[in-house]
Amino acid sequence: MNPVEQRQALKAAAQWHARRCAVPDCPLTHQQWHAWLDSDPLNSWAWQQLEQLSAGLHGVPAPLARHTLAAGMVEPARRTLLKGLVLGVGLGGLGWTVYRQSPVWLADERTAIGERRSLTLEDGTRLLLNTGSAVDIRFDTGRRLIVLLEGEIFVETGADPRPLQVRSVHGVMHPLGTRFNVRLYADYTDLVVVEHAVAVRNAATAQTVLVDAGMALAFGDATLPQPRVADLGRIEWNQGWLVFDDWRLDQALAELQRYRNGILRCSDAVAGLRLSGVYPLGDSERILAAICKALQLKMYTRTRFWVTLTAAS
């Protein structure tokens, strides 16, 4: 069997399993599943693989199943199958809706805190993952899809006739041959376009807004606002730089916090101090030392993971 076709069939089997768990008594779903099962011998094979894996997981606590998957202790095809199976069975109550949300620990690609990574996808698209980021990548014969689950990515699109989409929980972005940055916040997604344009369709309203180069758009579930002029300094992370242009100190520390574990804060007395500077990412300790020198602050450290900046006197 073709490995690519195997993976696609396993993905479909996992999706059908989760869907049937979500609506176990739906005759239409059962009929559609049977039609899919009978449509291709490869589908029957994939379903058998799923049943075997399901039998093997019976009695295994969900946290252990999740740990096994997250630790990469299964081969890629079986890992793909587990992504649907653990959600449909091991987590037992969320079914198809949760499967579509693809939790971060099941992401195809992810970075740890402080890590930045560059990937070249099969179509030539260059994808940069910022610190603490996670994506799912879904390419098939008819489309290219990148799902941002957490954090921030920078995309340089490759030449390919298949349409490309970048999705977040808040909507869909259709790049028109371009370079752009997407950052996911709790309540909204922020898009910055560097080259050409990106069409954004809101998840709730289906409204579409075109964002041109040099512009940005922050969108959530409400009506899409008009694009704003982009602060390109905010996306210099893709070049290895952290840029502050007249930022409040507490805001700058919150941004730096993304790149290091632990707690990083400042006293209320110095929180409103303004900071400007360009700092090389990769050594947050040196950045903190430079900030303290620039603003004449004192750094208190209980451990490396608990740092407070205060006035020097």
Residue 299 burial by Cβ neighbours in a 10 Å radius (0-12, 13-18, 19+): middle
Domains of the chain by residue range: 3-106, 109-232, 240-311
Separation of CA 161 from chain center: 24
Q: What is the mean pLDDT of residues 251-273?
A: 95
Instruction: Note whether 149 and 107 are within 8 A (CB).
Output: yes
Give the class (CATH, top level) of 109-232: mainly beta
**Bridge partner list, 179:** 156, 195
Task: Supply the pLDDT for residue 181.
Answer: 98
Task: Supply the pLDDT for residue 70.
Answer: 42
CB atoms closer than 10 angstroms to residue 5: 12
Structure tokens at 97: 């809706």
Comparing CA positions, the residue from 82, 88, 45 lying closest to residue 65 is 82
Give the class (CATH, top level) of 240-311: alpha beta
pLDDT tens-digit readout, 145-176: 999 999 999 999 998 999 999 999 999 999 99
pLDDT tens-digit readout, 70-112: 444 445 555 555 554 544 444 333 333 334 444 566 788 999 9
Query: How far is the C-alpha of 44 from the C-alpha of 121, rounded, in Å?
Result: 30
Task: Supply the pLDDT for residue 223.
Answer: 87
Query: How far is the C-alpha of 156 from the C-alpha of 124, rounded, in Å?
Result: 9
**How does residue 1 score in pLDDT terms, banded at 50, 70 and 90?**
low
Amino acid (1-letter code) at residue 49: Q
Q: What is the mean pLDDT of residues 32-55?
A: 77
Q: What is the 3-state secondary structure (H, E, C) of the chain?
A: CCHHHHHHHHHHHHHHHHHHHHCCCCHHHHHHHHHHHHCCHHHHHHHHHHHHHHHHHCCCCHHHHHHHHHCCCCCHHHHHHHHHHHHHHHCCCCHHHHHHHCCHHHCCEECCCCCCEEEECCCCCEEEECCCCEEEEEECCCCEEEEEEECEEEEECCCCCCCEEEEECCEEEEECCCEEEEEECCCCEEEEEEECEEEEEECCCCCEEEEECCEEEEECCCCCCCCEECCHHHHHHHHCEEEEEEEEHHHHHHHHHCCCCCEEEECCCCCCCEEEEEEECCCHHHHHHHHHHHHCEEEEEEECCEEEEEECC
Between β-strands 152-156 and 179-184, what pairing exists: parallel, antiparallel or unpaired?
A: antiparallel
Query: How far is the C-alpha of 302 from the C-alpha of 191, rounded, in Å?
Result: 37
Separation of CA 76 from chain center: 19
Q: How many CA atoms lie within 13 A of 156 on its CB side?
A: 7
Query: How far is the C-alpha of 19 from the C-alpha of 39, rounded, in Å?
Result: 18
Between the CA of residue 191 and those of 188, 196, 232, what are the distances in Å?
10, 13, 11
Rounded to the nearest integer, the mean pLDDT of the chain is: 82
Query: How far is the C-alpha of 168 from the C-alpha of 151, rounded, in Å?
Result: 10
Structure tokens at 47: 């379903």
Lowest mean pLDDT among 56-65, 92-101, 292-301: 92-101
